[in-house]
């Protein structure tokens, strides 16, 4: 580290150039002040969360006194959701995918690119709602599950015939 920078600030901004996420800790390379660059700087992450910021993300690094020891903090991109309400949280990536905990409005999961996969290595997968409806849509196909009925093709329709007769719970648009 160039000696003229050590006393400038304990916290500084930096632009990310490389991430090594292959070992026990994540280490980043980035540029700080003009002419200042760092390699293999530890970027600690909280338990239960891991991210791999893309090149050119901007973050903060902390200098540990006048030594060459540093810690990198954050590193975000322009895709970070902004102006979110107080008390909410968003997990996002550079492609626009997000999981948004919207407080009293519930949770929204958006796959802007790719799809959504739910995998259970054992046991069941449960989708449950104690009120309201559960709606599945793909193209023009719709399945609606409410407290009293299942509608295939959209709301309404005729009772579905089963081996035991016409159903009082499953309806379909012909």
Give pLDDT, residue 87. 86
Cβ atoms 51, 44 nearer than 8 A: no
Q: How confident is the model at residue 157 (pLDDT cuts 50, 70, 90)?
A: very high
- d(C-alpha 15, C-alpha 71), whole Å: 14
- The pLDDT score that the predictor gives to residue 17 is 95
pLDDT in the model for residue 45: 86
The second-level CATH assignment, the architecture, of 3-76 is: Beta Barrel (2.40)
Mean pLDDT of all residues in 15-20: 94
Q: Is the pLDDT of residue 2 over 80?
A: no
pTM for this entry: 0.66
- What does the pLDDT look like over 67-89, one tens digit per residue? 567 888 888 888 888 888 888 99
- Is 31 exposed, middle or buried, given 0-12, 13-18 or 19+ CB atoms closer than 10 A? middle
Q: What is the CA radius of gyration of the chain?
A: 25
Please report which confidence band the pLDDT of residue 1 belongs to, taking 50, 70 and 90 as the band edges.
Answer: very low
Query: Using CB atoms within 10 A of its CB, is residue 49 exposed (0-12), middle (13-18) or buried (19+)?
Result: exposed
Note the pLDDT of residue 104. Answer: 87
What pLDDT shows up at residue 9?
57
pLDDT at 67: 59
* In the chain, where the domains are located: 3-76, 79-118, 131-174
């Amino acid at each position: 580290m160039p000696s003229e920078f050590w006393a400038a600030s304990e916290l500084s901004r930096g632009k990310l150039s490389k991430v090594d996420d292959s070992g026990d800790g994540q280490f980043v390379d980035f540029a700080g002040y003009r002419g200042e660059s760092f390699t293999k700087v530890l970027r600690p992450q909280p338990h239960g969360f891991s991210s791999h910021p893309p090149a050119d993300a901007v973050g903060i690094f902390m200098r540990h006194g006048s030594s060459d020891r540093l810690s990198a903090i954050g590193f975000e991109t322009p895709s970070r959701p902004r102006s979110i309400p107080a008390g909410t949280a968003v997990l996002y990536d550079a492609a626009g995918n997000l999981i948004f905990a919207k407080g009293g409005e519930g949770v929204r999961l958006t796959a802007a690119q790719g799809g959504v996969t739910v995998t259970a290595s054992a046991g069941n997968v449960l989708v449950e709602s104690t009120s309201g409806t559960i709606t599945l849509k793909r193209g023009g196909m719709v399945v609606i599950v409410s407290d009293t009925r299942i509608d295939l093709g959209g709301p309404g329709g005729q009772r579905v015939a089963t081996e035991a007769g016409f159903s009082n719970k499953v309806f379909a648009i012909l």
